[in-house]
Amino acid sequence: MPRHPVAVSADVRDVLLEIWAVNDHMYQLILEQLDPRAWRAKLPGRTGRTIAAIIAHVHNIRRKWLRLSAPHLKLPTEVDRARLRQKQAKAALAESAKRCSEMLADALAAEPGPANPGPAKTFRRDGWAPSWPAGPTMLAYMFAHEAHHRGQVLMLAHQLGFPLSGEAAYGIWHWERLWKKCGFRSGPR
């Protein structure tokens, strides 16, 4: 069954964009409180990505979504997982989150027209994957991908002996507080 674009009201669009902003704020909290010794550490006897590599992947996949789905937007600079530092990662994620927010705003525009041509008409998550109409499912996929990797970061930090505590570990579940910290008037609606 072909997917069709879904029109969303301005209120729903605003909430979806707030969700994306809160998603990035969660990463910012984690990076602020992550012990620097965990950044490039590897589990003994295990292969897999370091936390630095996971964060680099998150940023670089956002770039891919932008390049494939919203080529009219300026791409943030690609990061090298072998050289990326924690402070650089915070800035890179903030920039790619901002550009993705612009892409989502285009995609969720209620009424495409002369004032809003809605350049992001399809969502391409990868070159091999079929495209979808741009809209709420696009955000759902993006958020799920990011939550998966956020969980990996938290689990890996814990396994390495550098568990996050306080706001980074538990604060990401206090959405009302996150909403306020992002400057939004009310919490989830």
The reported pLDDT for the residue numbered 1 is 38
The reported pLDDT for the residue numbered 2 is 44
Q: What pLDDT, in 10s, does the model give residues 19-76? A: 999 999 999 999 999 999 999 999 888 888 999 999 999 999 999 999 999 999 999 9
More confidently predicted of 120 and 149: 149
The reported pLDDT for the residue numbered 173 is 81
More confidently predicted of 113 and 15: 15
**In whole angstroms, what is the distance from residue 2 CA to residue 164 CA?**
43
- Mean predicted confidence (pLDDT) in 2-15: 73
More confidently predicted of 149 and 131: 149
Q: For the chain, give the mean pLDDT.
A: 87
User: Taking the complete model, does pTM exceed 0.85, yes or no?
Assistant: yes
How far CA 116 is from CA of 35, 106, 113, in Å, comes to: 44, 8, 5
The CATH superfamily assigned to 20-181 is dinb family like domain (1.20.120.450)
> Percent of the chain at pLDDT above 90?
57
Strand partners, 133: 122
**Sequence ranges of the domains in the chain:** 20-181
- Mean predicted confidence (pLDDT) in 3-10: 68
How far CA 66 is from CA of 88, 96, 100, 170, 179, in Å, comes to: 20, 9, 7, 30, 25
- Mean predicted confidence (pLDDT) in 79-95: 96
> Is residue 120 very low, low, confident or very high in pLDDT (cuts 50, 70, 90)?
low
The reported pLDDT for the residue numbered 183 is 86
Size (the chain), residues:
189
Considering only CA atoms, which of 88, 99, 76 is closest in space to residue 21? 99
